[in-house]
């Protein structure tokens, strides 16, 4: 049938190479996902992150770049590292921060998302960092708000700042991203970290292999129409063979009650990254985890603390990456 409603959604088209950030006449306003980032733009973020990391190593970890600006963190889901990293990043750049936890605000009085957003708008927020348990919520907000919206995780959909910090950490450790084999292991289907990393790693030229129980992997036709492909396997040994990076995801117990796998015990037996399994991987393989970890479930505590693990570095880099994003969003030159 030859009915075209309109052009294909940008989501399914390869990202058009945008002009490098330095020469963009209009700076980016929101960070909702990595699907609209160009290679050049990711480069600009990564380079700026390196500069921000230097700032964080100074005796006085503060610059006045964003003085007078206000950043609001609006979290409908609990978070430690992401929220704190954003607040530290904003403070290091001289901005004021306000933190709204949905449990303590008017949200519990039945205020809708759109009302909450209009209130924040009226109160004069410049940046809204938002986490929500439902996919797409930041898009509703971005539509309504003149401030910059940064998605700090929306349902199963996206967690772009996590993916950027993962890219930065990988390159910091291994010197490149292009051509690396990256295994992502666990509950891929319900993971926003996995989705955003697929965009980021795919864009930067890595080969991604997804591994998990059949009920927790996207269907094999998932890549139809996407600008890149990935491997997909149920077997952990296949996934980690030859991998340069192993990224583990948190296994959530509610998936068991949802009938998606029989027991944590069996999951641990099949998918936990133990020292024994790690010994069969490439020497020097880098171990990552976005946190929070279930030690003893998806990862053996000794593996988490091994020299190959960069899990704590990820957290540290999280501050620098968010500083870089706030800086670039404020329209200052890269």
Partner 1 sequence: MIRLTGGRVVDPASGRDELADLLVEDGRIVDSATTRDETVIDASGYVVAPGFVDLHCHLREPGFEDAETIASGTRAAAAGGFTTLCALADTQPTTDTGSNVESLLTQARRDAVVRVLPVGTTTKQRQSEELSEMADMAYAGAVAFSDSDRAVRKTSLMRHALEYSLLVEKPIASHAEDAELVDGGVMHEGALATVLGLKGVPRQAEEIAVGRDLALAQLTGGRLHLAHLSTAAAVSQVRDAKARGIRVTAEVSPHHLVLSDEVVSLKMYDTNARTSPPLRSPTDAAALLAGLKDGTIDCVVSDHSPRRWIDKACEFDQALPGISSLETAFGLLMRLVHAGVLSLSELLSALTYRAARAWDLPYGTLSAGAPADVVVLDPDQAWVVDPDRFFSKGRNTPLAGQTLRGTVLLTLANGNIVYRNGL
Binding site for partner 1 (CB under 8 A): 1-3, 5-6, 8-9, 11-12, 32, 35, 112-114, 132, 134-137, 139-140, 154-158, 189, 192, 195, 218-219, 221-226
Q: What's the CA gap between 49 and 51, in Å, rounded? A: 5
**Three-state DSSP class for 236?**
helix
Between 5 and 279, name the residue whose CB sits nearer to partner 1. 5
To partner 1, the closest distance from the beta carbon of 133 in angstroms equals: 9
In the chain, beta strands by DSSP E: 70-75, 96-101, 127-132, 148-154, 181-185, 207-211, 231-233, 245-248, 286-288
Q: How far is the CB of 49 from partner 1 (least distance, A)?
A: 25
Closer by beta carbon to partner 1, 89 or else 189: 189
* 78-112: burial string, b at 16+ Cβ within 10 Å, e else: ebebbbebbbbbbbbbebebeebebeeeebeeeee
Taking a C-beta distance cutoff of 8 angstroms, is the pair 283, 221 a contact?
Answer: no
Give residues with Cβ within 8 angstroms of 211, minimum separation 6: 183, 184, 185, 186, 188, 217, 232, 233, 234, 235, 236, 238, 239, 271
Judged by beta carbon, residue 19 or residue 219, the one nearer partner 1 is 219
Q: How far is the CB of 39 from partner 1 (least distance, A)?
A: 20
What's the closest the beta carbon of residue 67 comes to partner 1, in angstroms? 33
Cβ partners under 8 Å of residue 176, min gap 6: none
209 CB neighbour count, 10 Å cutoff: 20
Q: Which is nearer to partner 1, 93 or 188 (CB)?
A: 188
Nearer to partner 1, 8 or 269 (CB): 8
Least gap, CB of 153 to partner 1 (angstroms):
10
Return the SS3 of 184: strand
Least CB distance from residue 281 to partner 1, whole Å? 28
For the bound state, the minimum distance from the C-beta of residue 88 to partner 1, rounded and expressed in Å, comes to 27
Using the minimum distance from each CB to partner 1, give the nearer residue, 83 or 195.
195
Based on CB atoms, which residue is closest to partner 1, 224 or 276? Answer: 224
- Show the CA angle centred on residue 225, arms to residues 222 and 227, nearest 5°: 100
């Amino acid at each position: 049938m030859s009915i075209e409603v309109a052009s294909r959604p940008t989501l399914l088209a390869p990202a058009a190479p945008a002009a490098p950030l330095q020469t963009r006449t209009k700076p980016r306003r929101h960070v909702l996902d990595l699907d609209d980032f160009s290679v050049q733009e990711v480069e600009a973020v990564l380079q700026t992150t390196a500069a921000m990391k230097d700032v964080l190593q100074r005796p006085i970890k503060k610059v006045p770049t964003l003085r007078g600006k206000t950043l609001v963190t609006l979290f409908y889901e609990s978070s430690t590292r992401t929220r704190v990293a954003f607040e530290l990043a904003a403070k290091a750049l001289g901005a004021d921060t306000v933190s709204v936890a949905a449990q303590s605000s008017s949200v519990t009085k039945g205020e809708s998302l759109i009302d909450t957003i209009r209130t924040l708008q009226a109160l004069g927020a410049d940046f809204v960092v938002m986490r929500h348990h439902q996919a797409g919520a930041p898009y509703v907000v971005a539509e309504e708000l003149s401030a910059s919206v940064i998605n700090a995780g929306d349902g199963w959909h996206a967690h772009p700042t996590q993916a950027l910090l993962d890219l930065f950490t990988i390159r910091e450790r291994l010197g490149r991203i292009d051509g690396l084999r990256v295994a992502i292991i666990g509950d891929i289907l319900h993971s926003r970290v996995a989705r955003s990393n697929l965009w980021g790693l795919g864009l930067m030229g890595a080969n991604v292999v997804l591994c998990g129980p059949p009920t927790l992997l996207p269907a094999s036709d998932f890549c139809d129409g996407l600008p890149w492909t990935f491997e997909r396997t149920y077997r952990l040994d296949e996934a980690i063979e030859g991998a340069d990076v192993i990224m583990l995801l948190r296994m959530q117990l509610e998936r068991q009650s949802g009938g998606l796998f029989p027991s944590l015990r069996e999951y641990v037996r099949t998918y936990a990254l133990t020292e024994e399994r790690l010994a069969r991987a490439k020497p020097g393989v880098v171990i990552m985890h976005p946190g929070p970890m279930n030690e003893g479930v998806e990862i053996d505590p000794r593996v988490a603390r091994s020299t190959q693990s960069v899990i704590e570095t990820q957290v540290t880099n999280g501050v620098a990456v968010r500083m870089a994003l706030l800086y670039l969003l404020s329209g200052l030159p890269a």
